[in-house]
Amino acid sequence: MTDPAVATAVGPVGVTAGPAGRAEPSRGGAVPVEPLRVGIVGGGFMARVHAGAARSAGARVVALASSSPASAARAATSLGVDTAHESVDDLVTDPDVDVVHVCSPNATHAPVALAALAAGKHIVCEKPLATSGAEAEALVEAARAGRLVGAVPFVYRYHPMVREARARVAAGEVGRVLSVRGSYLQDWLLDSDDVDWRVDSAAGGPSRAFADIGSHLVDLLEFVLGDRLARLTSTTNTAHAHRGGSSVDTEDEAAVVFETTRGAIGTLFVSQVAPGRKNRLLLDLSGTAESLEFSQEEPETLWVGRRSGTQLVARDAAVLTPDAARLSTVPAGHPMGYVDAFAGFVRDAHDAVRGGTPEGLPTFVDGLRAVRVTEAVLASAASRRWVDVP
């Protein structure tokens, strides 16, 4: 089987090899025919995940910057990255970097990504794309104007069984979708002494649980359904008024009731204080012919419910729809999970940098969409009314 990283290294239509084996840019930033060179902003858990996924996609992780020169040096050593930059500006203007992966706290996403786009870099920016709709819109525009790739890691789209569910909905197998139940539960912020930058709205933005994990849930739901939330009503809850001595101004939980543009109804529940739930993202939908359920913690199967003949479909490229089979990179019986989904996402994002048009790549437009839904959730919770989702 051809390694996708090798296949794309041949170069897409419109990219010609320039001096030193590097291609002349046919769009925005430089598009090398050699392995892409990644620079990472951030030094935490997500920086580690991005570094591993980028390497698995065939890229070289060449530089890293973080909140201080010392933390950049520490993270670069631990992730095996050669260059630790003194500042984020140095990284985004580094001529040896083709793609910037933004893994720093939420409030820094927009300024860092804008600076990198201004320097002609392609971007993979963590979600939420920005902490306001206006900033997210500016990012969409800047990427468009520079003809640069902007991708957002809504990585749960990259589980093969999610693609299988999406294909079944699109093919009409489930019938007309009547209802959807989505939930995303974690427990890592359960206690009042659990602290993290995400809790502080200055670093994490006005929404916490919904922006952090509700954004994944909404993206997954709209991606699988091929439909959009049209209006919603919500309520939020904060479990602890104080954490680690500081007052808390972001939500731990959000409950949402919604209607879609095609007339389905549904609920979303998001919590970061649900004991025992680690990363339980669950999407359960019912159509007039079939129900489907996908659970992120058991990503190797898709439950297909029928009035008679209910099945648990196991991942096996031989029987999956083409897009699900494409992301099924190891044979059946060799479990795939979060790390593989992340690698699949980065492979597609980097393919887009080379001029490809991979199916289902989440872009800045999808990042903006999730920010808009998050704003609608907060607006509804504050006004206690139904709101239209723009």
Residues found near ligand SOE in the complex (CB under 6 A): 186, 212-213, 216, 279
Task: Please identify, using beta-carbon distances, which residue of 265 and 339 lies nearer to ligand SOE.
Answer: 339
Residue 23 or residue 217: which is nearer to ligand SOE going by CB? Answer: 217
> Which residues, at least 6 apart from 12, have a Cβ–Cβ distance to it below 8 Å?
354, 355, 356
Select 163 or 216, whichever has its Cβ closest to ligand SOE: 216
Sequence-separated (6 or more) residues with CB below 8 Å from residue 212: 127, 128, 198, 204, 272
Q: Which is nearer to ligand SOE, 58 or 299 (CB)?
A: 299
Instruction: Identify the three-state secondary structure at position 258.
Output: strand
How far the first Cα of the chain sits from its last, in Å, is: 44
Q: Which CB sits closer to ligand SOE, 37 or 163?
A: 163
Longest dimension (CA), the chain: 63
Residue 270 to residue 252: CA distance in whole angstroms: 8
How does DSSP classify residue 66? -
Nearer CB in complex with ligand SOE: 142/341: 341
| Least distance in angstroms from the C-beta of 114 to ligand SOE | 22
Q: How far is the CB of 255 from ligand SOE (least distance, A)?
A: 18
Q: Which residue is nearest to ligand SOE (CB)?
A: 212
Collect contacts of 10-15 with beta carbons under 8 A, ≥24 apart: 11/354, 11/355, 12/354, 12/355, 12/356, 13/355, 14/355, 15/354, 15/355
The least distance separating ligand SOE from the CB of residue 212, rounded to whole angstroms, comes to 5
Q: To the nearest whole angstrom, how small is the minimum distance from the Cβ of residue 128 to ligand SOE?
A: 9
Contact (Cβ atoms closer than 8 angstroms) between residue 352 and residue 361: yes
**Minimum CB distance to ligand SOE, residue 21 (Å):** 36
Picking from 313, 323, 28, the residue whose alpha carbon sits closest to that of residue 160 is: 323
SS3 content of the chain, % helix, strand, coil (to 5): 35, 25, 40
Least Å from the CB of residue 213 to ligand SOE:
5
Choice between 109 and 216, CB closer to ligand SOE:
216
From the CB of 59, what's the least distance to ligand SOE, in Å?
A: 21
